[in-house]
Structure 1
Amino acid sequence: MGRDGSADGAGVQWSLVIPVKALARAKSRLTDAAGDAVRPGLALAFAQDTVAAALDCPEVRDVAVVTDDPLAGRELSALGALILADEPAGGLNAALAHGAAAVRFRRPGAAVAALNADLPALRPAELERVLRAAGEFPRSFLADAAGIGTTLLAAGPGRELGPAFGVDSRRRHLASGAVELAPGAVDSVRQDVDTGADLRAALALGAGARTVAAVGALPLRALSSGCGY
């Protein structure tokens, strides 16, 4: 019953690991829609709304953010996240493995889940549904809205996270033995933002206050359907 988001996995307290790239380099595919001057602020707003929603989820014990960006570190720490330096500096999967190891150094046997930082419409109740489903399996993941990537990868106590994010990560996580979760009505956990079309979809779901404010700084032309949206 874990796949349908039932209460079977209730009671597991998760530590989330959220990676945040240097803001100046983040979300480069949004450049056409937002421009380089606004894009870093959008990336930060996405991360802030993601972390704030995650910390409001009853299944989440704590959130560790792996980043070397000073501004992101300060802002996300102020929300209550633990900030970890990206010591491996070896890319996304190395950062996630480092974050999971740091969490388990502090709390051996922790249930750990990697969560994307670009989920600006994230709803705590929907994340709760996903994590309860994940609690039924040693290792599991949730595909993104496009059905190609991954927005969440979970590993129960004593299980290695084994992140394989990047191009075609859904296929790679399946091949690694992780169970694909399929709870209903969790669109906000699936809707990551890489393009203008993704951002429009997140706004339609109901993005967080910081993202809405950041989008308000975009030129009117950037919000037209002819400019990447």
Structure 2
Amino acid sequence: MDLVVPVKRLTEAKTRLRGAAGDDPAAHARLTLALAHDTVAAARDARLVDRLLVVSSDPVVAAALAALGIEVVPDGPVPGLNAAYAHGAALLRARRPDGAVGALQADLPALRPAELDAAITAAAGHARAFCADADGTGTTLLLAAPGTDLDPRFGVGSAAGHALSGAVALDGDWPGLRRDVDTPEDLGAAADVGLGAHTRAVLVPCSPH
């Protein structure tokens, strides 16, 4: 499985999360980057993930993740999250046309590698499959089998959008995979599941509780 993880520019990302790590804009940028760090670290350590590609035009994101050996490419010519996923998927498919591809959100600080492996395993036999978020309305992971277009439909109501497009909803008990973070309340819920090391470090001595 080849995975695409888009990361927005830190100054534009997670606006509803501002203040969760302090009032300083730099603290917000550190928190946003930490969320991506923990997400990418879990994906990198998943046994069934062969290649990981981050799509980001933010130079801080690119430098930080490249230092860990993660490949980062800039956004394509079309703006937006779904365009970033499609751009990354096209690059991965150009390298391995017969490979499966996936789209993973970058704000999953409680994600565990075993959860990602379990979701990929559960998707076997389906042309496209997705994992809904904890609320059941959004999407945290979209997978497409070899020879199948990824067709990402992320955004408001994306779980319904992916289901309507023919993707199969995965029903595994994966709390870290389902717990994306958009608000301070989401961050507190992710902390209850168990945050990754980068996010924990940014929140000390701040606490989401």
**TM range, smaller chain:** over 0.9
Match of 1:16 in 2: 3
Match of 2:119 in 1: 130
Instruction: Point out the structure with max Rg over C-alpha.
Output: 1
Mapping 1:149-164, distance limit 5 Å: 149-164=138-153
1:22-78 C-alpha deviation (Å, 9 max, x unpaired): 011111001143333311111100101111111110010011000000110111122
Mapping 1:97-116, distance limit 5 Å: 97-116=86-105
Q: Distance in 2 between matches of 1:37 and 1:56?
A: 28
Structure 2 residue 162 is matched with structure 1 residue 173: yes
1:143-197 C-alpha deviation (Å, 9 max, x unpaired): 001111000000010000000000100110011010111113x111000000001
The answer (yes or no) to whether the contact 2:128–2:168 under 8 Å persists in 1 is yes
The answer (yes or no) to whether the contact 1:115–1:151 under 8 Å persists in 2 is yes
Match of 2:184 in 1: 196
Structure 2 residue 205 is matched with structure 1 residue 211: no
Shift of 1:124: 0.5
Count of residues paired in the alignment:
207
Match of 1:26 in 2: 13
SS in 1 for 2:126: coil
Shift of 1:217: 5.3
Structure 2 residue 75 is matched with structure 1 residue 60: no
Structure 2 residue 40 is matched with structure 1 residue 51: yes
Structure 2 residue 80 is matched with structure 1 residue 80: no
Shift of 1:89: 3.9
The answer (yes or no) to whether the contact 2:19–2:28 under 8 Å persists in 1 is no
The answer (yes or no) to whether the contact 1:38–1:217 under 8 Å persists in 2 is no
| TM-score computed with the length of structure 2 as normaliser | 0.95
RMSD: 1.3
Q: Distance in 2 between matches of 1:80 and 1:197?
A: 32
The answer for unaligned runs of 5 or more in structure 2 is: none
Q: Distance in 2 between matches of 1:131 and 1:79?
A: 24
The answer (yes or no) to whether the contact 2:76–2:83 under 8 Å persists in 1 is no
Q: Distance in 2 between matches of 1:144 and 1:110?
A: 25
SS in 2 for 1:37: helix
Q: Residue type of the partner of 1:183?
A: G
The answer (yes or no) to whether the contact 2:153–2:161 under 8 Å persists in 1 is yes
What fraction of aligned residue pairs are identical, expressed as a percent? 51
Q: Distance in 2 between matches of 1:32 and 1:175?
A: 36
Q: Distance in 2 between matches of 1:217 and 1:161?
A: 41
